[in-house]
Each structure stands twice: as structure tokens, then as C-alpha cells.
Amino acid sequence: MKYNLIHDKNYKAWLADIKTRIRGAQLKAVVAVNTELLKFYWGLGADIVAKQANSKWGDSFLLQLSKDLTAEFPDMKGFSFRNLKYIRQWYCFYNGKSAIGQQPVAQLAKQSVSLLTQIPWGHNIAIISKCDNMDEALYYAQSTAKYNWSRSVLVHQIESGLYKREGKAVSNFAVTLPKPQSDLAVQTLKDPYIFDFLSITGEYREKELKNALVSHVTQFLLELGAGFSYIGRQMPLQVDDREFFIDLLFYHTKLHCYVVVELKTVGFEPEHAGKLNFYLKAVDAQLRTKQDNPTVGILICKSKSKLVVEYALSDIRKPIGVSEYKLTQSLPKSIKSSLPSIKEIEKELGSKK
């Protein structure tokens, strides 16, 4: 009787492992192809800039170059006139005036190209189309490579101004947490948090804001940043004969600690920090294990005075950060950038989303 491998657990496990390895090999091949293509684009961009600087060809030669390359390599995408202009723009963007200390431009470009070739071409175009300077662009390139952002997530992070918001909250982490955890915790916070995925308008209560955030927990986690794992809302804590409820409880996989998030639809008051300090003490006593680092608190309020927050946190021994939130709605389509969309560029290149 022929043995049926379909129902054999060992065979199924081995088959699953092979499939995983194949997918991994396919991904590495795609990344390698992308890297080599972008290295070629970088060299081509350098050639285009040099030829334009040292000849009398002018801009019109890009159109002729596009025709000649497309005719010679009809199956190779990326030689359209528009894409050649983007290749030149991409190269020039990172070879402009250095904004990072006094580093020579050539050294900066060499460091950049190895990073830039690790992310897809569509991501690179989005970055140079939407970023104002090299520091900001390299920040998003590094984050894309580190967190494997999709293009839509990348664009969202740029348009929400993540570069200017990350690590800007007021906190006491430097005196309540050991290094390097304190530095990582600082970078974990943003100020302000942008809740543009909510449709709340006019007057609203804290309960409505909390319900809306939980209803959009995927977008909320994206705004909080990498590492946050949602546990629940209105989590009960029993202290003596009283019961208290935490607004939102998370676990941070990089900080290896619980994170208590309290939301206030009013401006910051010193008593808010005192109550959050109490919650952190209770979580440390009741939920924290020997493997966990000290619980961190994040207070997100409608507004704050930096000096008032600093005074309120100065004698608190639990790690607390205070940020604001904004309910900024997305810009109407009619006033968004007139630059061609990444989808239009990809369509011209013949690639898929």
C-alpha cells in the first residue's frame, strides 16, 4: 500500500520549512536585484550630471537617451524620460550641500548609497519628493530599511512629520531609567501624536476618544511606533479594597516592559502625573515579572506647558513621558502635491505595487 505523505506530520513540517527557505531565497534575490539596479541608477545619475556640466547637450539629451536605451533594451524598464529625470534628481539630492556637520559631500554620498540601494526605487522617489533636506531623507531611508515599511506606511510617516516629532516629548527618563534603556525610551515617544485617522470633530469626551482609538487600533499602533503590543483598555487594578482602571495597556517588545497610556482631553495638570505614577507602581507590583524592565507611563493630553510638566515630573521616580495629541485631518485631495503619484511612476516603469 502506497504511503500517504500528505498526512505525515514530519513530512508536512519539512515541506513547510522548505517553503519558508524558498521564500527567503526569493526575497534575497529580489533585494539583490533591487540593490544592483539602484547601484546602476546611482552611477547613471552621476554620468548624467557630469555630461550636463561638461558638454553643451542641455536637458534635451535625456529625451534622446531615453529613446536610445529603450530601443536597445526594450524588455528593461526604467529608461523612460520621466524616470531618467528622477534618477538625476535622486543623485543630485544626496550630493547637494552637506547638512550633517562638516563631512565632505563625497564621503556623505558614499555612506548614503549603500543605504539607499537597500530600499525599493518607489520608496526612494517618495522620499526625495516629500523631504526638505538630506538629514530628513536619510532618517526615513534608515527607518524604512530597519522596519521594512511599505510605501504607503512610509508616505504616511513623512506626511505626518515623524522626523520632527520623534523623541520630542517631555520626560524624566534620563533620571529614572538606566542607559541605554533611557535613550531608547526617549526615542519611543513622539510629540505631538497625530490621530488624523479619527473622524472625531467638535466637542468630545475622553471615553469617546478612547473608544475611537481602540476601534482603529491598527492605525493607533502605527502612530505609537514599532514595538508596541496592545494588551487592552480599562484594565482593572485591585489595590486594597478599591479597583482602578488603566486607560490603555501595552507591552513594548524592544523596551521589554509594560507601557501604561493615559489619555486626557484637557491640558496637562500636575495631578495627572501623580495618578499615572500610582498606576505604574501598581503595574510593577502586580504584573511585572523578573524578566521585565520598569513599567513606563505615557500621558497624552490636549495641550501642555513644558515648564509645568518638568516641575511635575521632577520628584517622580517612575518613568513618565508627556506628549500632546492632534486630531489633524488629512489635506483635501485638491490641494495635495501636484507631483506625479508613486503609482503613476510605477505604472510607467511597468512594476507592480
Q: What percentage of residues in the chain have a pLDDT greater than 90?
A: 59
Report the distance separating Cα 220 and Cα 325, nearest Å: 12
pLDDT tens for 16-67 read 776 777 776 666 666 677 888 898 999 899 888 888 877 777 667 888 888 8
Report the distance separating Cα 129 and Cα 41, nearest Å: 17
pLDDT attached to residue 59:
66
Under 8 Å between Cβ of 117 and 39? yes
Question: Domains, the chain, ranges and CATH?
Answer: 10-159 (no CATH), 165-326 (3.40.1350.10)
Under 8 Å between Cβ of 295 and 231? no
pLDDT attached to residue 270:
97
Find all residues with CB under 8 Å of 137, minimum gap 6, and list them.
93, 94, 127, 128, 131
Under 8 Å between Cβ of 320 and 273? yes
Neighbours of 84 (CB within 10 A): 21
- Is pTM beyond 0.85 here? no
**Which pLDDT band, with edges at 50, 70 and 90, does 351 fall under?**
very low
Burial of 214 (0-12, 13-18, 19+ CB in 10 A): middle
Is the peptide bond between 180 and the residue preceding it cis, with omega within 30 degrees of 0? yes
pLDDT above 80 (res 347): no
Q: How many CA atoms lie within 13 A of 87 on its CB side?
A: 24
pLDDT above 90 (res 322): yes
Backbone Cα Rg of the chain: 25
What does DSSP assign to residue 335?
Answer: G
pLDDT tens for 77-133 read 889 999 999 999 999 999 873 333 344 455 555 677 889 999 999 999 999 999 999
Under 8 Å between Cβ of 142 and 115? yes
Provide the angle, in degrees to the nearest 10, between the axes of the packed helices 105-116 and 9-54. 150
pLDDT attached to residue 35:
87
For the chain, helix, strand, coil in percent to 5 are 55, 15, 30
Report the distance separating Cα 194 and Cα 178, nearest Å: 29
